[in-house]
Structure 1
Amino acid sequence: MLIIRPIRSSDYQALHRIAEESGHGFTSLPVNEALLKSKIARVTASFQKEVERPFDEGYLMVLEDTETQEVVGTCGLEAAVGMEDAFYHYRLGTEVYHSKQIDVRNEAETLTLCHDYTGAAELCTLFLRDNYRKNNNGRMLSRSRFLFLAQHAHRFGDTVIAEMRGESDDNGHSPFYGWLQKNFLGIDFVEADYLSGLGKKAFMAEMMPKHTVYVCLLPEEAQKVIGEVHTNTRPALNLLEAEGFRWRGYVDIFDGGPTVECNLNDIRSVRESRLLTVTIDDMPEAASKYIISNTLLSDYRATSALLQVSEDNDDVILSPELAAALFVEPGQQIRILAL
């Protein structure tokens, strides 16, 4: 059985391996022992914390194969970004120039450095090991976060964002970053991305262009990738668009990849998830597969299974094995979402 649960300190080696496998552009998991252990400690504290309003909490979960006891994936949520460390984006805009005297009208696209998403919740750290990328495991892992958002909405910002990985080659070279490196930062993309993942972001405020950048003045190869996603990220973007996420013109300051957003309560899976009351018995035959989670916090568990669910009542039967894996007892509730 594949079970999603909060990460714990004993998962460090598995998390380090995933950080190595995730490669360039996976800023949220830099290959750094101190930072990864600090991240696990922060997550543990977040799951145990009483929250009246979201601040700087982080919720990182792992996908465990209970047969092998191996961690095979991760998924995460940030409660409210930018509350302690600055959270930068470029906002894509348009400036209009018009002269009646010469009868000319021009529009120029611009990039403006901003902190507009401060306080937004963020979907992050989605990774699944290659040999588990089958049987809708990736879809289950990604969408399980919407059950957590639905159940614990007060712990998150009203707007939910997701930063999509932008274009870069196998060596980590980003066409968009090239002009930044040459004219402003002076360090390569991999190093800048790594420093950002470590939380060492002072160089951004010190070296990034502080005034509006005209897109037409960028190299053509950089212009072409603004708002474009990496090939490997396209399926993740398609899934989020189906949930109601849209691109509003914000891009990553390093690779130009799009950041998409949706109001938490407007996310399709948040709206369509249901709370059902559990009976434990032999499960009837069923044809529909659901993502299932309990309603707990520090003991959060989620998985997927075939369930017999009726639109006419809010009861559901779970097998003793499934109920035990989800830490639920008779009369308690689970949250479900059609997979």
Structure 2
Amino acid sequence: MLVIRPIMASDYSALMQCAEESGHGFTSLPVNEEMLRNRISHSETSFAKEVVSPADEGYLMVAEDTETGEIAGTTAIEAAIGLDAPFYNYHLSTVVHASRRLGVHNTVQILTLGNHYTGDTELCTLFLRPPWREGLNGRLLSKARFLMMAEHRHRFSDVVFAEMRGVSDEEGNSPFWHWLKENFFSIDFIHADYLTGIGAKGFIADLMPKLPIYVNLLSKDAQAVIGQVHDNTRPALRLLENEGFSCRGYVDIFDAGPTVECDVRNVETVRHSKRYQVEVGEHESEQQCLVANTSFRDFRAVAAPLDIDDKAQHVVLSQQVADALAVTDGDFVRFIEQ
């Protein structure tokens, strides 16, 4: 059984392993000891903090295999981004160049640099190691964050978004960045991505073109990947789309991967999750659910069968599941049926 829980300082080695395995283009998991230790420390502080409204809190969690003690993956939420450092993106929009006198009407797309998501909540750092990519594990790692949002609504902004990893090859070469590099940056994609991951973002403001970029002036390869996702990211994108997320034309400034967003109130798991009281005991139900306790500091989430009584707003769960969630008779859990 996988249990989603807040990260601890003792998880550093496992987090570094996830960073190494995640590969190029995974900005929020840089292979950098200082940055990863700082993220762990910041997360521990954030989970312990009393919050009235979202600010710079970062909640980093891991998926622990209860049978082996191994860390199977990681997932995170940034409560409100862009408050202490600019958060850049491109917006893809359409403009018309027309002359009635000449009978000319051209529609072209442009990319405009901006900070649209400042103050919004970001889903990030979702990585599940290959041996555990089966069953409900991927859904649990992603949807546990929505169960947390539903239960602790005041800690998060009204809009939640996720940057999806864009197209790059096995060596980390991005067609979109290749065009930017040739014309503006003169540094490799991997290096630029790494600098962003460790918080050294000053070069973006210094070197990024300030005026809108006409898409038809980009190379054909660069044009082709705008708004497209890396093959390894497609399952995560489908899951978010099923939750109600969609792209409103915003893309990443490095690899042009799409940014998807949703009003928290409209996220399917938030809308349809239920908060019922617990009874610990044996049952024969095979109704699979993603279920979380209602604690924040000691948040836990698992995938498990529950015996659900909607009329009484009551669930029966096994002792094993209760132990994993750190709940007892009379406590409450929040869950979503699968």
Percent identical residues:
53
| Alignment match, 1:30 | 30
Q: Deviations over 1:33-86 (max 9, x none)?
A: 000000000000000111111111111110001121111111111101111111
| Alignment match, 2:69 | 69
How far 1:228 moved relative to its partner?
A: 0.6
How far 1:179 moved relative to its partner?
A: 1.1
| Alignment match, 1:324 | 323
What count of residue pairs does the alignment treat as equivalent? 338
How far 1:180 moved relative to its partner?
A: 0.8
How far 1:141 moved relative to its partner?
A: 1.2
8 Å CA contact 2:87, 2:117 repeated in 1: yes
* Larger deviation, residues 203-212 vs 305-314: 305-314
Question: CA–CA distance in 2 between the matches of 1:8 and 1:61?
Answer: 9
How far 1:185 moved relative to its partner?
A: 0.9
Question: CA–CA distance in 2 between the matches of 1:62 and 1:178?
Answer: 34
8 Å CA contact 2:307, 2:317 repeated in 1: no
| Alignment match, 2:150 | 150
Question: CA–CA distance in 2 between the matches of 1:293 and 1:159?
Answer: 22
Question: CA–CA distance in 2 between the matches of 1:240 and 1:18?
Answer: 22
| Alignment match, 1:51 | 51
Partner letter of residue 291 of structure 1? L
Question: CA–CA distance in 2 between the matches of 1:95 and 1:4?
Answer: 46
Q: Please give the secondary structure, in 1, of the residue aligned with 2:308.
A: coil
| Alignment match, 1:246 | 246
Moved over 4 A (4+): none
| Alignment match, 1:226 | 226
Q: Please give the secondary structure, in 2, of the residue aligned with 1:62.
A: strand
Partner letter of residue 264 of structure 1? V
* Larger deviation, residues 259-268 vs 321-330: 321-330
How far 1:311 moved relative to its partner?
A: 2.8
Question: CA–CA distance in 2 between the matches of 1:317 and 1:286?
Answer: 9
Residue 297, structure 1, aligned to residue 296, structure 2: yes
How far 1:312 moved relative to its partner?
A: 2.0
Partner letter of residue 263 of structure 1? D
**TM-score where L is the length of structure 2:** 0.98
Q: Deviations over 1:199-256 (max 9, x none)?
A: 0000000000000110010011100110011111111111111110011000000000
Question: CA–CA distance in 2 between the matches of 1:213 and 1:320?
Answer: 58
RMSD of the TM alignment (CA)? 0.9
* Larger deviation, residues 66-75 vs 197-206: 66-75
**TM-score where L is the length of structure 1:** 0.98
How far 1:188 moved relative to its partner?
A: 0.2
Q: Please give the secondary structure, in 1, of the residue aligned with 2:302.
A: strand
Q: Deviations over 1:296-330 (max 9, x none)?
A: 01100110111111332211112223212211121
Instruction: List gaps (5 residues or longer) in structure 2.
Output: none
Question: CA–CA distance in 1 between the matches of 2:11 and 2:297?
Answer: 16
How far 1:272 moved relative to its partner?
A: 0.6
Instruction: List gaps (5 residues or longer) in structure 1.
Output: none
